[in-house]
Amino acid sequence: MTIEDVNVDLGPDTIYTDFPYVLDPGNYSAYLWQDGSENESYTVTAPGSYSVTVTDNHGCQGGDDIYVGSVDGTHEIITSAYAINFYPNPTKGMLNISIEAQEYFDWNIEILNASGQKMKVQQNKNVRSNIIPVDLTGIPAGTYILKISNKKEVHSRLLIKQ
């Protein structure tokens, strides 16, 4: 028998979570992870791609892979002209964006869904140092792109709405 004879599922192809995170493909006779380890489960401690090949009690094999990314609660964007923090992430409804800049900027904040559709647009004029609240209570739970821009730069980060 060959790989793919056994249906193995580590979950969605991409997941964003806190660490450590345990990958568990289920109950099989043998396991071979991407790093050569052979444990029944694998504890992820850093973002990256992970894979497993399993063998059942009939000698049939199957495999799956997953990308595990970090959601650490606070995210930073730091340049020579400003520092931006946004939190909490994931959020249940209210997102705070803290801006500390050397000069005043007009900041555009956009929340985009996976199709690129703008779910929320908020403009904030003449901001140098402030915490900007962004109300996401009307947006369904899911994974979004937080796009923060000024006249000089555009930054995009992953945002989870619970």
Residue 82 CB burial class (10 angstroms; 0-12, 13-18, ≥19) = buried
Q: Is the pLDDT of residue 72 over 90?
A: no
Q: What's the average model confidence in pLDDT over 56-72?
A: 84
Q: Are 23 and 31 in contact (CB under 8 A)?
A: no
**Predicted local distance difference test score (pLDDT) of residue 114:** 81
Binning the chain into helix, strand and coil, the percentages to the nearest 5 are 0, 60, 40
Nearest 10 degrees: Cα torsion 84, 88, 89, 93: -120
Q: What's the average model confidence in pLDDT over 47-52?
A: 88
Query: 83-108 pLDDT, tens per residue?
Result: 999 988 889 999 999 999 999 999 99
- Which residues pair with residue 76 across a beta bridge? 85
Query: 108-154 pLDDT, tens per residue?
Result: 999 998 888 999 999 999 999 899 999 999 999 998 989 999 988 88
Tell how strand 30-33 and strand 42-44 pair up. Answer: unpaired
Alpha helix locations (H) across the chain? none
Residue 84 CB burial class (10 angstroms; 0-12, 13-18, ≥19) = buried
User: Quick one: residue 11, left, alpha or beta (phi over 0 = left, psi -120 to 50 = alpha)?
Assistant: left
**Predicted local distance difference test score (pLDDT) of residue 26:** 94
**Predicted local distance difference test score (pLDDT) of residue 21:** 85
